[in-house]
Chains A and B, each alone.
Chain A
Amino acid sequence: MRRLGAVDELAATYDLAIVGAGPAGLSAAVTAGQFGLSVLLVDEKTAPGGQIYHGIAASPLKRGSILGPDYWSGAALVEGFAAADVDYLAGAMVWQLDQDRHLYIGADGKSRRIAAQAVILATGAQERPFPIEGWTRPGVMGVGAAQMLLKSSGLIAEGRVVLVGAGPLLWLFAAQMIAAGSPPSAILSTAATPSLGRLIPLLPSFLASAYARKGLSLVQRVRRASRLVSSVTDLRIETGESGLKIAYRAGGQAERIFEAEHVLLHQGVVPNLNLIRSAGCTIAWDDAQACWHPIADDWGASSVEGIAVAGDGAGIQGAETAARRGRLAALDAACRLGRIDGAARDRAGAEDIAAIGKDAKARRLLDVLYRPTAAFRMGSPKALVCRCEEVTGERIRQVVRETKAVGPNQLKTYLRCGMGPCQGRFCALTVNEIIAEERGISPGKIEPMRVRPPIKPITVAEFAALDL
């Protein structure tokens, strides 16, 4: 791997450009490099690993101690990448990708446009929004955010820390807090209890998988070391004397209040679709995971010629599948660019395709178990759904009723939601579901919020200096 110091060092064209240095992007780069393709990997972080293996090459924490073996298993991937014959530009953002596969890349206040014959978007996941009243107050953060601080900086939230929500990451982080000697003060679980009838058919595949082996012991460890409150609803965060106050009901009982310095929220992760959407890739609504994902074939090929998607950005399937999907997308690129024929591609990818299918079956139970309820996905009426423009769920509903706005692109005109600094990254999913509910149709029937470049803030000077 050659680490480029600035956008000036980029070649004008590459056979393959990969965006994102998580498991999918890294394995795509390693595979493509083996076929002699000229490869560029661009990533916004300063070191490879993505969110899941964030900071792995330079984590201040010692191996094996707090973060656990799954985290450190990413080291092999990063080492393989270090040995690969590819260009790597870190700390850079791709702020536009057009259908002719021009990438507009900015780093350190300077941008360049380059071209690629094939593109793989491995943009990963983001935490699902958790719109409850008060979730915009400083001190409230995503569980994934708090975990990022631990991985890269060895920082852990101090004082009374309350974890709220549901999902595998919440349990994992609770276990890491315990291992770091700062267990959470309480875990308020919002997990719904799906009927046994729905779970039983999914159990055999799950129990035969590593998810069961690792997950069950993790949950037990956390349960032993921290206070768990189940069936939590009616959440609200207010300012308290020494920080925050979180109000909730458990099992429908009277409201209780818990004082805390930090409230960490989590209800799963969803694909990060901004670049994928702005490139024009078609997306579809996935009801099981209650989110959108790009339409793609087994090799990750999207609806746009020459642009593939891989990893959790292509649909949430976890780190192992992400690495496999990265490999498949690279094999397909090698095939499209004439390095191997279709039969060789199919042979090389067969094992990965089979393993992905098996893993997806095992994960179905997790999707059912941790699918947030509609009430939590759409949030409480007074919660700010659009954090940037400060628009509540109740206001969105009112305007949809009054104006008959058919989707988020119309709603923008009335409420500006999706037009603040985050450009709808965070609120789009929630807004979409609220409008769908008001109109009594499936979210998949609504045209999602359009995404327009530049998808990252750049200065006018940087834009003007672009050599086109």
Chain B
Amino acid sequence: MFKRLSEASGRVLSFTFDGQPLEGREGDSLAAALLAGGVGVFRTTVPSDASRGPYCLMGVCFDCLVEVDGVANRQACMIPLREGMCVTPQRRARQLGE
């Protein structure tokens, strides 16, 4: 888990992850807001459906991939949190009919 230092401030923004309401702060990347909200698993891998969360937070590892407002393959560490974002985890490879 991550805790927010008391001296940290910033406007509160609401969003959802997998249907659950969460709150982050203005200035957070989407990945930071998810981690602060206790989310550890962002995606599962294509070959084996293994759970992954962010490793690098600098746009390199792609283990933070999520779906944001219907667009897949978004790097949560590179996009700023916005009010009302609808985020879902990205699971394994896309299947026929999905």
Contacts and interface: CB of A to CB of B under 8 A. Distances in A.
Interface in B56-89: 56-63, 65, 71, 73-75, 77-80
Interface in A191-229: none
Contacts of B45: 388, 390
A260 to B, nearest CB: 12
Contacts of B48: 390
A453 to B, nearest CB: 16
A69 to B, nearest CB: 17
Interface in A136-191: 136-142, 144-145, 148-149, 152-159, 180, 182
Contacts of A66: 5
A293 interface: no
A180 B5 contact: yes
A272 interface: yes
Contacts, number: 139
B60 A126 contact: yes
Contact of A420 (B28, B46, B71): B46
A5 interface: no
Contacts of A46: 80
Interface stretch (A56-64, A317-325, A396-404): A56-64
A426 B56 contact: yes
A46 B81 CA distance: 11
Contact of A425 (B2, B8, B32, B60): B60
Contacts of B59: 44
Contacts of B2: 149, 155-158
Contacts of A390: 45, 47-48, 50
Nearest to B42: A138
A154 B4 contact: yes
B1 interface: yes
A58 B10 CA distance: 10
A345 interface: no
B4 A387 contact: no
Contact of B52 (A61, A136, A159, A261): A136
A422 B74 CA distance: 12
Nearest to A153: B32
Interface residues of A, number: 51
Contact of B3 (A58, A60, A148, A156): A156
A154 B51 contact: no
Given A139-B53, A148-B57, A422-B61, A155 B35 contact: yes
Q: Is the interface of A mostly helix, strand, loop or mixed?
A: loop
A144 to B, nearest CB: 7
Contacts of B60: 126-127, 272, 422, 425-426
Contacts of A387: 52, 55, 61, 63
A149 to B, nearest CB: 5
A141 B54 contact: yes
Contacts of B9: 60
B62 A388 contact: yes
Contacts of B65: 421
Given A65-B7, A158-B2, A426-B61, A153 B54 contact: no
A142 B42 CA distance: 16
Interface string A48-79: 00010001001011100110000000000000
B8 A61 contact: yes
Interface string A110-135: 00000000000000001100000001
A156 B6 CA distance: 11
Nearest to A462: B71
B25 A153 contact: yes
A390 B92 CA distance: 13
A159 B1 contact: yes
Nearest to A423: B62
Nearest to B31: A149
B80 A155 contact: no
A141 B10 contact: no
A77 B91 CA distance: 42
A62 B7 contact: yes
A142 B8 contact: no
26 contacts: A44-B78, A60-B5, A61-B8, A126-B58, A135-B55, A139-B53, A140-B55, A141-B53, A141-B54, A144-B58, A148-B32, A148-B77, A149-B57, A152-B27, A153-B36, A155-B4, A155-B8, A155-B32, A158-B2, A387-B61, A388-B45, A388-B46, A388-B62, A390-B47, A422-B61, A425-B61
| Nearest 9 interchain pairs by C-beta | A154-B8, A138-B53, A60-B8, A145-B57, A421-B62, A422-B62, A138-B40, A153-B32, A155-B2
Given A152-B28, A153-B27, A420-B62, 19 more contacts: A61-B8, A126-B58, A126-B60, A138-B40, A138-B51, A139-B40, A141-B53, A141-B57, A145-B54, A148-B58, A149-B57, A153-B28, A155-B8, A156-B2, A180-B5, A387-B61, A425-B60, A425-B62, A457-B73
Interface of A: 44-46, 51, 55, 58, 60-62, 65-66, 91, 93, 109, 126-127, 135-142, 144-145, 148-149, 152-159, 180, 182, 261, 272, 387-390, 420-422, 425-426, 457, 459
Interface of B: 1-5, 7-10, 25, 27-29, 32-33, 35-36, 40-42, 45-48, 50-63, 65, 71, 73-75, 77-80
